[in-house]
């Protein structure tokens, strides 16, 4: 019996070591929304060392922009008046110094955490194992939203710095204050379901790679889009994972539409052009993430992206040959 207990204890210790990773959690909807708080607690339940650093107020649509505080104190209230104007432009929960806000965009929240907060306040440097961004309130599908999304802006900025990163998004857009709506025991709450699924993927990555390996290959990230779940679709509480590609038919792009009554323009999605539908690189047999989102099935799209933006060799040569005489001088 003693021998069996020792073996069991060693197994638990190894599992704990495998799962005990440092995760930086951010988003573009704000540090006080229910979605990110649910994910924070679910990731911590598995033994991860999680640091939440997110905008003090909504920064949707900021992409990879670096927005930073204009003053050492807030000039306006944070979302949900939490905190209020006059508070420091960056700070943490009174009862949890792992939960921080920053008066900036998601990309600058990541930079603030990596270059200042972790090394200065926690004596930590070069140890972030994974950046998790989201879950966003609203899906981020197709390459045009990849560039527009603040959720993804934090992710590709992390990948630029050799840190594995994943963006998670879903159609739940209730934009609720965590102190009002957080319920980690509600099996139909979308925030809780997304948090559980995010933890499932993160845990699988770390278990597969082991203690000392990267969560993802260098230069790569993941874009994940959940379907409607729980109270939004009670038939879907445990969506399956489907591998997809960013591009493909159909894809969408942001655009403008004109309202003749108000004489104003408004944001509207439009069908993507041939450039977004044509497969030029990657696995062309994969469905587009937008097709999975539109399917109405209980399925989550998972797209692997690269920050190597160079064109495929044959297309690069075709374009360069058009200006070949310029290279002869």
List residues with catalytic annotation: 169
The number of helices, as runs of H, and strands, as runs of E, in the chain is 12, 11
- Residue 171 in contact with residue 290, Cβ under 8 Å? no
DSSP character string of 147-195 = HH-HHHHHHHHHHHTT--EEEEEES-----BHHHH--TT-TT-HHHHHH
Alpha helices (H) along 30-99: 34-45
The dihedrals phi and psi of 126, each to the nearest 5 degrees, come to: 55, 35
Phi, psi (degrees; rounded to nearest 5) at 145: -75, -25
Distance of alpha carbon 211 from alpha carbon 214, whole angstroms: 9
Query: Contact, 288 vs 248, CB < 8 A?
Result: yes
CA atoms of 138 and 168, how far apart (whole Å): 10
Instruction: Characterize the bridge pairing of strands 165-170 and 264-271.
Output: unpaired
């Amino acid at each position: 019996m003693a021998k069996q207990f020792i073996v069991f204890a060693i197994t638990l210790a190894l599992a704990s070591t495998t799962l005990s990773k440092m995760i930086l959690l951010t988003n573009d909807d704000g540090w006080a929304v229910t979605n990110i708080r649910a994910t924070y607690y679910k990731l911590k339940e598995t033994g991860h060392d999680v640091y939440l650093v997110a905008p003090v107020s909504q920064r949707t649509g900021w992409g990879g922009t670096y927005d930073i505080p204009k003053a050492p104190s807030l000039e306006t209230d944070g979302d949900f008046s939490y905190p209020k104007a006059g508070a420091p432009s960056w700070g943490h929960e009174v009862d949890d110094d792992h939960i921080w806000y920053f008066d900036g965009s998601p990309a600058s929240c990541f930079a603030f955490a990596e270059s200042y907060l972790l090394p200065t306040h926690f004596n930590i440097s070069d140890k972030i194992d994974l950046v998790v961004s989201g879950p966003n309130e609203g899906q981020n599908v197709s390459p045009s939203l990849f560039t527009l999304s603040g959720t993804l802006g934090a992710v590709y900025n992390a990948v630029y710095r050799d840190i594995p990163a994943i963006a998670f998004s879903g159609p739940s857009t209730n934009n609720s204050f965590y102190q009002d709506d957080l319920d980690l025991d509600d099996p139909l709450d979308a925030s809780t379901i997304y948090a559980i699924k995010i933890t499932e993927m993160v845990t699988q990555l770390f278990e597969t790679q082991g203690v000392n390996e990267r969560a993802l290959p260098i230069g790569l990230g993941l874009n994940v889009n959940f379907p409607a779940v729980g109270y939004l679709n009670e038939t879907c509480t445990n969506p399956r994972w489907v591998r997809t590609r960013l591009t493909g038919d159909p894809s969408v792009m942001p655009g403008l539409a004109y309202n003749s009554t108000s004489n104003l323009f408004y944001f509207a999605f439009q069908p993507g052009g041939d450039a977004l539908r044509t497969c030029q690189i990657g696995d062309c047999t994969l469905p587009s993430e937008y097709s999975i989102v539109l399917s109405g099935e209980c399925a989550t799209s998972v797209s692997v992206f690269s920050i190597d933006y160079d064109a495929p060799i044959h297309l690069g040569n075709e374009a360069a040959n058009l200006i070949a005489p310029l290279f002869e001088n």
